[in-house]
Amino acid sequence: MKKLFLFSLLLVLGALFLDSCKKGPQDPLISFKSRQSRLVGKWKMTSMMVNDTERIDRVHHSVSNAGACGNQTTTIDSATQLQLTFDKNGDYTQVYTLTVTTSQSYSVATCPGTSVPVISGYTTKGKWIFSGGTEGIKWKQGLSILHESPEQTNNFNILELSSKTLILEQWIIDPLFGGLVKIDYTLVPDK
């Protein structure tokens, strides 16, 4: 009976200890790689949720009307791509690409449709550091990115950091309307 009690006690204490090692709420229970070695590398965005609504790919506008070639439909689509690279020395690179495609299609088969993509984007560099340890956020649960140009700092909560998934949460103030906006970025390794 005494051995069973000791075994149960060790099991409970072990579970509490392992759970305290987790930084993000969705982190793996056990990892044999350090938090830094899991973060270092190239990541690509697969999802960007703004206030729980997907914003990575969406149709902005679609209009149909009658024309010389029958019904004409004009559609404007957008696609956002984000690639983040973290190196072990604390350097950071972000490549952002926005593709806007305007397409026209017709109901009459002899009229050719058109599709015109316009691609814009930017690259920014800077430094990254783990943060946290205040206001209920565990040390290394936060990620601060210090951009060189324009000089600014973005702070994120790391919800999940595994070798296969990085989920970052960011709270910002909407520059147009002033309300609080929650953005969740889901990234996977970009090999």
Which tens digit of pLDDT belongs to each residue from 15-59?
434 444 445 555 566 667 898 999 999 999 999 999 998 887 666
Domain assignment present for residue 142? The answer is yes
Domain assignment present for residue 95? The answer is yes
In DSSP notation, 36-83 reads HHHH-EEEEEEEEEETTEE-SEEEEEEEEEEETTEEEEEEEEEEEEEE
Domain assignment present for residue 6? The answer is no
pLDDT at 58: 65
Q: What range does the domain containing 181 cover? A: 23-189
pLDDT at 127: 97
pLDDT at 122: 92
pLDDT at 154: 92
In Å, how far are 7, 103, 119, 181 from 54, measured between CA atoms?
47, 22, 21, 13
Q: How many CA atoms lie within 13 A of 141 on its CB side?
A: 19
pLDDT at 123: 94
Backbone angles phi, psi at 142, to 5 degrees: -100, 155
| CATH number of the domain within which 141 lies | 2.40.128
Domain assignment present for residue 182? The answer is yes
Domain assignment present for residue 7? The answer is no
Domain assignment present for residue 139? The answer is yes
pLDDT at 37: 92
Residues of the chain with pLDDT under 50: 5-7, 9-22
**Considering its fold, how many domains does the chain have in total?**
1
